[in-house]
Amino acid sequence: MLKETVVKLMDFKRWANKRTFGFAMSLTEEELLKHRSTHFGNIVHTLNHVYVVDDIFRAHLEGRAHGYTGRNTDTSPPLARVFEAQQAMDDWWCTYAESMTEELLSEVINFTFVDGGEGAMTRGDIFMHIVNHGNYHRGFVGAMLNQAGVTPDATDYPVYLRDTI
């Protein structure tokens, strides 16, 4: 049952990201980069942060160094490049979820946070973190889209189920 849930949640994440990026790409570069009162300062840098964290945890799952020194890059690439990278990342997470077994999902992964602290999570917990982390920051992006005069469609899980299943 856990694997089925993880697979569905990864597909939901991919769907929600495509929807969010679609609305963001309707904005001018000026609106995308306009400073807003959020932790990452603008729409592109917030979406880039989601990608970076996805990539960091992918590296943890693959047992390799990720090369990041923070939870975001100093500057963000253009939105189109972030979207292309995020789509490839979402495809990886979906494929990886399909490869899981219940036993693998329960396996504990030890890692080092970018701030140097030690962490340990099961693979299943990492999947949950990735979904929740993306939801959290897409919420900020939705608020910033509203500030820019765009009302994005909902990216809630029940809407995903209604529209895709």
The answer to whether 15 touches 138, Cβ cutoff 8 Å, is: no
Q: What value, to the nearest 5°, has the Cα angle with vertex 17 and ends 15 and 21?
A: 125
pLDDT of res. 165:
81
CA atoms of 118 and 120, how far apart (whole Å): 7
Helix pair angle (2-24, 43-62), 10° resolution: 150
CA 83 to chain CA centroid, Å, is 11
Confidence of residue 30 (pLDDT cuts 50, 70, 90): very high
For residues 93-99, give the mean pLDDT.
98
With a cut of 90, say whether residue 1 has pLDDT above it.
no
Q: What is the mean pLDDT of the chain?
A: 96
CA atoms of 9 and 15, how far apart (whole Å): 10
Tokens encoding 155:
């990216």
List domains and CATH numbers for the chain: 2-164 (1.20.120.450)
15 residue type, one letter: W
pLDDT of res. 107:
97
In 3D space, the residue among 42, 70, 41, 77 whose CA is nearest the CA of residue 55 turns out to be: 70
For the stretch 106-130, pLDDT in tens is 999 999 999 999 999 999 999 999 9
CA atoms of 61 and 103, how far apart (whole Å): 14
